[in-house]
Structures are given as C-alpha cells and as structure tokens.
Structure 1
C-alpha cells in the first residue's frame, strides 16, 4: 500500500530531452539511415525522416538529456517541506551529478524513485544515456537480475492504471481530474527542442521540468488522500 511508504524515502523525478543534433543534416549518412529505419512505422507515408527529426528526443539513441529535476520530502513532525533541485547543461555532467545523488543520498534499500511514465521513459532513457556516455549505472537504475518486487520504482501512471495495461493518461490530464493546479507553464514537451536550440533558454526548460516534478509529487499525495503541497512548502535549492 502506497500509504505505508515513508515520504522521506521517495525521490521524485522528471527529465527533459532534445534531439542529440540540432538538425537532421548534421547526422552522418549511417545515422540518417538508422533514423529512417527506426522511425519507419511511426512516420506517416508523406512524412520524410528529416521532417520527423524534431521528435528524435524521445529515443535515447538519437536524443540527449538537457535537464533532470528531482524533488524529495523532508517531513519532521508537523512540518512538511518539498525540496526541488535540477541538473542541467552538459549531458555528461547532468548524468554524473544525478548518479552521485543516487549513490550518496538515495542508495539504501528503502529508497524509491517515482515519476510519471518513468518506467517506460525517464528511467530507461537515463540508463541508456549513461551507458552511451560510459557512466556507471547506479544500483537504483540497474534492473538486471532483479525480480519485479525488487525494483525500487514507482510510477504514477502505473498506479492510475489499476491493472489496465492499455490505458495512458498524461500528467496534465491527471492533474486536471485530480484537482491539482496545472504543472504546465508556457511550453510543452514538443517545444523543448526549439527552446533549447533556437531560443537557447535553458532556464525556461528547467522551470518546466521542475513544475512537472512537483506535479508528480502532488499526484502521489492525492493518491494517498493527503493534503496537496502549498507554495510555502516548496523549496527550490
């Protein structure tokens, strides 16, 4: 039962990704061919590989991470705070810093990672990019040989499915139906690449990512029938 989990033991997270290269024509010929093959069933007949390239950020083989935001509760008696911080900029540094956080502060058996659709996207993406960048995978991301009940991950999308494997609900929709103030600002996931490469506004992406992390925590509280966080309880560090 999620009500029995100590809030202090959960690390909430969200990542933002973009295509690894800004333009399709920047890829070498082999990567162009591999991209065409990888996306052949996702593209409509009249959509060329180049036109489809703005979606490359959703595949770890063709994308990269530009921001990881995390949040964790600090509950002491009647005082409850939620601390939010972000790693952004160079991908290798992001991954190393996130790796250090897990290894040094969230590496015990009781610690759990939680995101929205994190089991399908965020966590595999993080692990794959660590391998690509030759960074050791921390224990919390290394699932090899683990039984399902040994995997220290929670997923608010999975909790909302209640066993309905074909059901997908976006973070924004869950916030709406659960009465949680919208996590979204002035951009959405499809615009992150443009904001990163064209506007070069990483701060805007960080704000967006942190809002999603807070939203995941709010959903988790709502699923436990607990009071939502108020602004005074959220601390950006």
Structure 2
C-alpha cells in the first residue's frame, strides 16, 4: 500500500509545544485548580507546581510554538525534500499552516504524516486552533468521517502492525532502522527550557525540522527506497 502512494502527495509534519505560561503561579485560580485535578494521576510525589513544567503535552494547558512541515519534489533530474517552519505567535503560526494546507495540500489525494500524529500532533493542532477561534481545514476536521476518509498517516501506527499496546519513540525507531538520529542537539524534554529560559526559538525550529526529515526517512525505509542524503534536503523560509 505504501509503495503505491505518490510521495509528492504527503505533507510530513511535526509540532513543538510548551506550557502556555512560563510559571505555574501565572495561572488564574480556576485554571490552577483544573491543572491540579488534570495532572494528579501522573504527578506521583511531585507538586502541581513542579509538574507544571510538563504542561505542554496537554493542549488545554500548553501552546504550540513551532510547526514544521516537509514535502517531496520529484523531477526527472532527481528528488528534493523541502522543509518549512511556522513559528512564534500561536494563532498566527496555526493560521499560516492552514493557509499553506489550503493552497498546497487540500485535495483528496493529499495526506498528512507525523509520528504519533493521530494521538498527539493532529488533535493538538485542531484543539489549539479552536481555542484560538480558527476554523479547521478539512484535513483536520474529522467530524462525521469514516476511518478510511481520514487523510492521516502515522509512522507509529505503521510500526505497530496492529499491536496497539506498543509505543516506540521516533528516536528509537530511527535507531533500529538505521536512520540518522534527529536528536543531535536537543530532545523533547528540553524544549521548555530552551524556549523559556534560553529563549532560543530558532534552535527549537531546527530540531523540529530534523524530526520532519526523520519521519520522511521512516516512510522511505518502509517503502524500501534509498534514504535522503543531505544534498537532497533544502529549507525554505
């Protein structure tokens, strides 16, 4: 099935998220109580304030700071893989992504592809869009759609082969498949610190783009095609 897909119809995607506020004490009283309740099943011995550093994993308490996408361009002279990122103000970057989708990847044959995208990236973007009063594009509006009508690919899903209790990180998957690791500089546990403490958003963008390349490499590996080499990868602003 994967071999039959046109690579140029796939938009590879990754998001980076952080807590919506830098500090727990910045939350209003009602939000603080809701956070305390929401997080208590995971906190164990940690206080709600200490655990707030992980709030970015929940769309109700986090925000998106970067969305990176990548796509193939295949011509007679060879293939290219281009990455592009939307960063900064959350509402603006989501809206920019939606405009890009509408212009370039809105047709029935187009697919969105992410690692754990069905459980994280796609619903997170949709929820934060609604929180920011943005209308959902067709590719993210799943209401009333049958499973075969959903235009989403998930490399984690593909790797499970029906084993729904199994989770494999992108870092582990690239390792076992012999794909260069995208975690050269930072990993997901460091994004909050790099964003709030070091204020190095471009560093996070670079990390996010490397993840997008890695997801595309996984699809190539599944298709038993040659991996991308650095000369085939470009970035557009």
Q: What is aligned with 1:24?
A: 24
Residue 77 (structure 1) shift? 2.6
Alignment of 1:149-228 (within 5 A): 149-228=148-227
Aligned-partner Cα distance in 1 for 2:59–2:221 = 31
CA distance in structure 1 between the aligned counterparts of 2:125 and 2:177, rounded to whole angstroms: 29
1:70-89 alignment, distance < 5 Å: 70-89=69-88
TM-score normalised by L of structure 1: 0.99
Deviations 1:174-209 (A, max 9, x none): 100000011112211111011101100001000000
Establish whether residue 15 from structure 1 lines up as the match of residue 3 from structure 2: no
What is the CA-CA distance between 1:76 and the residue it aligns to? 1.3
Q: CA deviation at 1:78?
A: 4.6
Mapping of residues 114-129 of structure 1, within 5 Å: 114-129=113-128
Counterpart for residue 92 of structure 1: 91
Can you give the 5+ residue segments of structure 2 that lack an aligned partner in the other structure? none
Unaligned runs of 5+ residues in structure 1 are: none
* Structure 1: distance between partners of 2:178 and 2:186: 21
TM-superposition CA deviations, 1:139-161 (whole Å, max 9, x none): 00000000000000000000000
Q: Deviations over 1:54-82 (max 9, x none)?
A: 00000000000000000000011351000
Partner residue in 2 for 1:2: 2
Moved >4 Å (runs of 4+): none
CA distance in structure 1 between the partners assigned to 2:158 and 2:178 by the alignment: 17
Correspondence for 1:41: 41
Counterpart CA distance in 2 for 1:90 and 1:77 is 39
Length, aligned pairs only? 236
